Amino acid sequence: MELQFFKYQGTGNDFVIIDNRQDVFPKNNTKLVAELCDRRFGIGADGLILLENDNLSDFKMVYFNADGAESSMCGNGGRCLVAFAHYLGVIEKETTFNAVDGLHHATVEGDIVNLKMIDVDKIHEKQNHSFLDTGSPHHVQLVKELKKFDVQKEGKKLRYGIYGESGSNINFVEQKQDNAFDVRTYERGVEGETFSCGTGVTAVALAMHQSGKTAANEVHIHTIGGDLTISFEKKGGKYSNIFLKGPATQVFKGTIACSI
């Protein structure tokens, strides 16, 4: 059969998005998801997202990693799905949608999507890194000369060496100004470096604030794919009103032949 799809990207983090409100996509077919995300034999993407009906909110987000496995929250993917819902006319300029980690609020203005992330009340500070969950698990580590850093080698080593098979995303960070950081991320499920990671840059902003590297409650992050802004509040050791803001745009749409 022919499957209609849309390709979106948020600061270079790219996704195949499918309108699954009629519940026709075979969600248990991990092989199909992996084939669609394959950059040589499929459409090519860091992940696949389904937009579905939801009883509690405007729509539901179902996210799969590029390896075909259903995964935890994806921040840039969430922003792209909000842009897609706006394109379809499902929402106007404001929405609440359901994801694997709960309800999310978001606003759309042009190609900029501002997405509210889950609250964070635990940041584990280790000797040379921090670990926290911003909807997905993240390791945050400061390094020198980030541009020359071997993210693939070191990310893979930490992803399996510390966190085992279930793994964690690994973020390498270099501070540029008081409230500005460069970030490169090794993503589990993709098993390689992505151009950007929404939950990752959110984790970096909170970890840098928690460790005293910045006192700002609005942090600017530069990734390979572009710039994102994270704002938040901290009260009694808990981070809340966390927002991930940046561009999310449609790249192209089409149909692809597949056997499901």
Instruction: Tell me what percent of the residues of the chain surpass a pLDDT of 90.
Output: 95
Identify whether 37 is a catalytic site residue: no
CA angle (222 as vertex; 217, 226 as ends), nearest 5: 120
Instruction: Tell me what percent of the residues of the chain surpass a pLDDT of 70.
Output: 100
**Residue 241 in marked binding region:** no
**Residue 13 in marked binding region:** yes
What's the longest Cα–Cα distance across the chain? 54
- pLDDT over 80 (residue 259): no
pLDDT tier at 258 (50, 70, 90 boundaries)? confident
What lies within 8 Å, CB to CB, of 156 at 6+ separation is: 186, 191
pLDDT digits (tens, 9 = 90+) for 135-162: 999 999 999 999 999 999 999 999 988 9
Identify whether 258 is a catalytic site residue: no
Mean pLDDT of 104-126: 97
**Spatial distance between the Cα atoms of 106 and 150, rounded to a whole number of angstroms:** 35
Identity at 159, one-letter amino acid code:
R
Q: Going by DSSP bridges, is the β-strand pair 137-142/130-133 parallel, antiparallel, or unpaired?
A: antiparallel
Helix (H) or strand (E) holding 250: strand 249-257
Q: Catalytic residue among 37, 80, 197, 258, which?
A: 197
**Residue 169 in marked binding region:** yes
**Residue 187 in marked binding region:** yes
Considering only CA atoms, which of 249, 243, 213, 209 is closest in space to residue 228? 243
- The chain-wide mean pLDDT, for the chain, equals 96
pLDDT tier at 167 (50, 70, 90 boundaries)? confident
**Residue 188 in marked binding region:** yes
- Cβ–Cβ under 8 Å, residues 16 and 49: yes
**Residue 249 in marked binding region:** no
pLDDT digits (tens, 9 = 90+) for 186-209: 999 899 999 999 999 999 999 999
What lies within 8 Å, CB to CB, of 125 at 6+ separation is: 210, 211
Q: Catalytic residue among 37, 74, 80, 258, which?
A: 74
**Spatial distance between the Cα atoms of 153 and 169, rounded to a whole number of angstroms:** 13
- pLDDT over 90 (residue 119): yes
Considering only CA atoms, which of 131, 164, 244, 150 is closest in space to residue 192? 150
Identity at 201, one-letter amino acid code:
V
pLDDT digits (tens, 9 = 90+) for 84-106: 999 999 999 999 999 999 999 99
Mean pLDDT of 111-119: 98
Q: Go through the domains of the chain in sequence order and give each one's CATH number.
A: 2-116+248-257 (3.10.310.10), 123-244 (3.10.310.10)
pLDDT digits (tens, 9 = 90+) for 211-246: 999 999 999 999 999 999 999 999 999 999 999 999
Whole-model pTM: value is 0.96
What lies within 8 Å, CB to CB, of 40 at 6+ separation is: none
